[in-house]
Amino acid sequence: MSPTDDNSSQSTDSPRSKRPYAAASIRKRRRNREREPEPTPIIGGRLWLPIGMFIAMAFFANPQTGRSFFAKNAPQPYRHQTQAWKVGATSEVRVSVVSADVRALACASDMNAEGVRCAYKADKTAVPRAPDSPLDDNQHLVIQPFKTVPDDHLVLIAGLWHDVSVAYRVHQEPNLGKGSRRLMRFVARCQVRFVAQASPDTVQTRWGLTSSWGKINKKPMVGIVQSCEVEAPTLGDEE
């Protein structure tokens, strides 16, 4: 064997010649580790499909279960916190009205609270208009009776029709000789500041232009509207 062959054999087996192969092997192992798939969660992916189908079948198989579930989770109707209705306090009041109620709802009393009063005196005669008042101020200082929705509490409020959003709603559907059944009923959600509490023996109410006056058997709060929002209207259900 020639010296050249010996040198060739030694150079092939030397540590320096093995380094490229070792580096390539390390890179390959690293790539394999990076490609390892992540473990699939116990509940996830396609497993949700049969779970959802099982729940749906349970509801359809037993409608009572479904009704009970939705009844428990249904939104509760709004209830007025009447215990917070005190003189000087401001609270949300929701009333259901039609545009004809601008003139139809009225009260009779000699009560005067912070400049607001009923349209009629206690003897049922109309309160004369002040000389310096505008011809039409949308009942700005006139107290009227209303019933709250959905809990039907009597409340005496002034300034409802003077609010911009309520006045615009009436402007959209003016009362031109229509009965209440032909008008769209809407709910006004108003912030009301309470200024007095009426006595049953000092106030009478009227709920229609041709209706009789009636006494009240409670002590309703008297308030002045600060602001209102109007909900979507529905067809009226009263004359």
Q: What is the mean pLDDT of residues 188-198?
A: 98
Three-state SS at 155: strand
Q: What is the mean pLDDT of residues 211-223?
A: 95
Q: Answer whether 203's CB lies under 8 Å from 105's CB.
A: no
Q: What is the mean pLDDT of residues 192-197?
A: 98
Distance between CA atoms of 191 and 223, rounded to whole angstroms?
A: 9
Tokens of residue 225, six digits: 């509207």
pTM of the model: 0.67
What's the DSSP call for residue 15?
A: H
Query: Would the CA dihedral through 91, 92, 93, 97 be positive or negative?
Result: positive
pLDDT in tens, 66-99: 566 555 555 667 889 999 999 999 999 999 999 9
Q: What is the pairing mode between strands 90-97 and 214-215?
A: unpaired
β-bridge mates for residue 197, sequence order: 221
pLDDT in tens, 58-71: 666 666 655 665 55
Distance between CA atoms of 122 and 109, rounded to whole angstroms?
A: 4
